[in-house]
Amino acid sequence: MVGRSNCADLVDCSAEWPGGQISGADALGIAQKLAQPYGITVSAPGSKGVQVAQFNLMIGETAFEIIERVCRYGALLAYDQPDGNLLLAQAAKVVAASGFTEGENVQFASMSFSSDQRFSDYQCFMQSMDVLGDIGEGGNLLATAKDPGMLRHRLRMIISESPGGGLDFAQKRVTWEANRRIGRSAQLHVVTDGWRDGAGALWTPNTLVPLSLPTLKCGSEDEKAVWLITEVAYRRDNAGTKCGLTVMRPEAFLPLPIIQLPTFADIPVNPGIGWGNEVRN
């Protein structure tokens, strides 16, 4: 038997809200409004995200696409809980009471590595068109970063979502891009013999776990690696009770740095003059 949580409706279905506009709400408020038609409860035990003055829904967007986007503003992650409801939380800092140790509580473990989404050099630009090319790269190029693990030349150019944030913000943005791709390039798959850690808590996503898997070169007894649980599958069949987990480096889930810039109304200088209202002598 295979199933999905209640949040599957948020991932699959188009967002709906009367009028298509949400005003004066934070990430939690927006998520609650979009989840309400599907009977899903949304909670945020810590930060609720920044206040968004006005948010307009685009026709065809799924509810989860919108929730994920507004969560970036407040450096939040959105994921489902064991009861099927949605949780908004910052990247975990709490470490599980126990982890996974080779020869003790690990029945199976494998590591997959991929470099197709990693690049040797990252460049962050202010805008997509280099209209300042006649004064050199300094006019449009804001910041750079390198991935020392990539030995051959692979260039990745990105456009800053908040060019008004300045050089410091651009450097954070391009460094985040490099670190996130490094973090997602390695995935650890573990099968353990129980659903709970040493303190009796269920294995859940967004939990840090210590690892001692020397065969896979992922931590050791003397120096354990601490990675983040990203997926959990609870299993119970004729072979017994097991739990399958996907674990990744914490850098893979660092929130996107972003700055909300104010948008001002486009008010004409002479409201009485416009199409069909020309002033003639």
pLDDT 10s digits, 251-269: 887 766 666 555 444 455 5
pLDDT digits (tens, 9 = 90+) for 117-170: 999 999 998 876 666 555 555 567 788 999 999 999 999 999 877 666 678 888
Check whether domain 8-89 has CATH 3.55.50.10, yes or no: yes
What CATH number is given for 100-114+185-253 in this structure?
Answer: 2.30.300.10
Q: How far apart are CA 142 and CA 130, in angstroms?
A: 12
Q: Which helix (H) or strand (E) holds 166?
A: helix 166-184
Better-scored residue on pLDDT, 7 or 1: 7
pLDDT digits (tens, 9 = 90+) for 17-76: 888 888 888 889 999 999 999 999 999 887 777 777 777 888 889 999 999 888 877 778
Give residue 59's pLDDT. 87
Give residue 218's pLDDT. 92
The owner of tokens 């300045």 is: 166
Give residue 245's pLDDT. 95
Question: In Å, what is the CA distance from 122 to each residue of 163, 196, 259?
Answer: 16, 40, 20
Whether the CB-CB separation of 84 and 114 falls below 8 Å is answered with: no
Please list, in sequence order, all residues whose beta carbon lies within 8 angstroms of the beta carbon of residue 281, skipping any fewer than 6 positions away.
none
In the sheet where 208-212 sits, what is the strand order? 100-101, 208-212, 225-237, 240-248, 186-192, 106-113
Amino acid at 115: S
pTM: 0.69
Amino acid at 134: D
Helix boundaries (H) for 36-159: 63-73
Q: How far apart are CA 229 and CA 142, in angstroms?
A: 34
pLDDT digits (tens, 9 = 90+) for 167-188: 888 888 888 899 889 988 999 9
Give residue 192's pLDDT. 94
Please list, in sequence order, all residues whose beta carbon lies within 8 angstroms of the beta carbon of residue 103, skipping any fewer than 6 positions away.
none
Better-scored residue on pLDDT, 73 or 6: 6
Whether the CB-CB separation of 208 and 227 falls below 8 Å is answered with: yes
Q: What are phi and psi of 280, to 5 degrees?
A: -120, 145
Categorize the per-residue pLDDT at 276 as very low, low, confident or very high, splitting at 50, 70 and 90: low
Give residue 165's pLDDT. 67
pLDDT digits (tens, 9 = 90+) for 204-255: 888 999 999 999 999 988 899 999 998 899 888 888 899 999 999 988 877 6
Please list, in sequence order, all residues whose beta carbon lies within 8 angstroms of the beta carbon of residue 250, skipping any fewer than 6 positions away.
91, 92, 183, 208, 226, 227, 228
Average pLDDT for 103-117: 92
Q: How far apart are CA 24 and CA 30, in angstroms?
A: 9
Better-scored residue on pLDDT, 135 or 192: 192
Question: In Å, what is the CA distance from 250 to each residue of 45, 94, 141, 150, 163?
Answer: 20, 12, 29, 20, 27
The owner of tokens 């776990």 is: 209
Give residue 270's pLDDT. 57
Q: How far apart are CA 135 and CA 118, in angstroms?
A: 30
